[in-house]
């Protein structure tokens, strides 16, 4: 009973941590983008204010059951994938469900969210939502391929599919996989550009064109749940890459530094790139990223 309680407590703490970190990163991004564009920009804690505002709003209308469940689906995806990722190298702090699943499972649970939200967006009947969803799903097929190839390269190289297993190998040997298999790292980073859906891959929710796409019919608590899910999910992605390629983090400060540095890659790439059309972004992911993925697998098999 005691341990179960501890587990739940640990899970909630992890969630809060992820929420806080993700929100802060989001705010910082807004600030950085604004400064680059020579605007003043909102304060870095603006996201917290927005979230609080959204949370306190009451919802006036809804479009049916799936409209309610869509945000719940996407939250499941974020939280469950968070549960399966070792946050720190010594797992005592946030053990959660680390040993119960592996990378393949993680890949699948990570796509669970977008699909669930797509259902919610579908029921609203807003054509913009559906258009956004089709774009988002198409793009997802694009970036998942190099992403999976990068992961397969790691699994093959180290003969394990478990996240904790891969992390332990790095901790014990002291070598980071981003140097052991740089091609896999490149493929993964390029694929992660698509996962964050920042420019140039932001056609999914293009505000000027699609009225925020899938999210367009959501307000109040719906949007709050989506927003927090997005923040948690950003944390999940960053931590996962840190765990897989950068030897994890032994304490929270190192984790924050590593993840923030990683986070800057999509952010800065986005600032300097104009938006791609959907088919362009798909062909982008099936160009160099796919090639790196291929090289990564070959490297893993033969070296």
Footprint (CB under 8 A) of another protein, residues 96-125: 97, 99-102, 104-105, 108-109, 111-112, 115, 118-119, 122-125
What is the sign, positive or negative, of the torsion defined by CA atoms of 237, 238, 239, 244?
A: positive
Contact 240, 82 (CB under 8 A): no
**From candidates 13, 33, 48, 68, binder to another protein by CB under 8 A:** 68
Instruction: Report how far apart, in Å, the C-alpha atoms of 296 and of each of 12, 28, 156, 302 are.
Output: 37, 33, 10, 10
Greatest pairwise CA separation for the chain in angstroms:
60
60 binds another protein (CB under 8 A): yes
159 binds another protein (CB under 8 A): yes
Nearest to 193 by CA among 113, 290, 285, 68: 285
What is the sign, positive or negative, of the torsion defined by CA atoms of 263, 283, 291, 101?
A: positive
Q: Give Cα 164 distance to the centre of its chain.
A: 19
- Least gap, CB of 188 to another protein (angstroms): 14
**From candidates 175, 207, 251, 279, binder to another protein by CB under 8 A:** 279
181 binds another protein (CB under 8 A): no
Which range touches another protein (CB under 8 A), out of 27-35, 59-67, 180-188, 243-251? 59-67
- Least gap, CB of 122 to another protein (angstroms): 3
220-245 helix and 163-173 helix, angle to the nearest 10 degrees:
40
Scan residues 130-149 and list those touching another protein (CB under 8 A).
130-131, 133-135, 137-138, 140-142, 144-145, 148-149
How many chain residues interact with another protein (CB under 8 A)? 78
297 binds another protein (CB under 8 A): yes
Scan residues 10-49 and list those touching another protein (CB under 8 A).
none
80 binds another protein (CB under 8 A): yes
**DSSP single-letter state for residue 126:** -
Q: Choose between 138 and 273: whose C-beta lies nearer to another protein.
A: 138
């Amino acid at each position: 009973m005691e341990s179960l309680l501890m587990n739940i407590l640990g899970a909630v703490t992890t969630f809060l941590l992820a929420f806080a970190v993700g929100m802060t990163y989001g705010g910082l991004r807004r600030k950085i983008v604004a400064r680059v564009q020579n605007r003043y920009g909102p304060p870095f804690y603006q996201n917290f204010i927005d979230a609080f505002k959204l949370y306190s709003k009451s919802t006036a209308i809804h479009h049916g059951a799936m409209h309610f469940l869509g945000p719940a689906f996407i939250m499941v995806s974020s939280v469950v994938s968070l549960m399966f990722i070792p946050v720190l190298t010594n797992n005592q702090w946030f053990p959660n469900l680390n040993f119960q699943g592996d990378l393949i499972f993680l890949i699948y649970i990570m796509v669970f969210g977008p699909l669930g939200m797509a259902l919610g967006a579908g029921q609203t009947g807003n054509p913009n939502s559906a258009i956004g969803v089709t774009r988002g799903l198409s793009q997802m097929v694009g970036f998942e391929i190099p992403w999976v190839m990068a992961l397969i390269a790691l699994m093959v190289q180290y003969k394990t599919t478990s996240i904790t297993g891969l992390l332990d190998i790095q901790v014990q040997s002291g070598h980071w996989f981003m140097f052991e298999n740089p091609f896999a790292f490149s493929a993964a980073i390029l694929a992660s550009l698509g996962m964050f859906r920042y420019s140039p891959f932001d056609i999914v929710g293009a505000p000027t064109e699609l009225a925020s796409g899938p999210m367009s019919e959501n307000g109040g608590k719906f949007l709050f749940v989506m927003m927090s899910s997005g923040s948690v999910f950003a944390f999940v992605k960053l931590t996962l890459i840190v765990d897989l390629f950068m030897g994890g983090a032994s304490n929270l400060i190192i984790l924050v530094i590593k993840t923030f540095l990683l986070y800057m890659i999509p952010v800065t790439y986005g600032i300097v790139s104009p938006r791609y059309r959907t088919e362009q972004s798909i062909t982008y992911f099936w160009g160099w990223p796919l090639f790196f993925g291929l090289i990564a697998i070959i490297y893993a098999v033969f070296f």
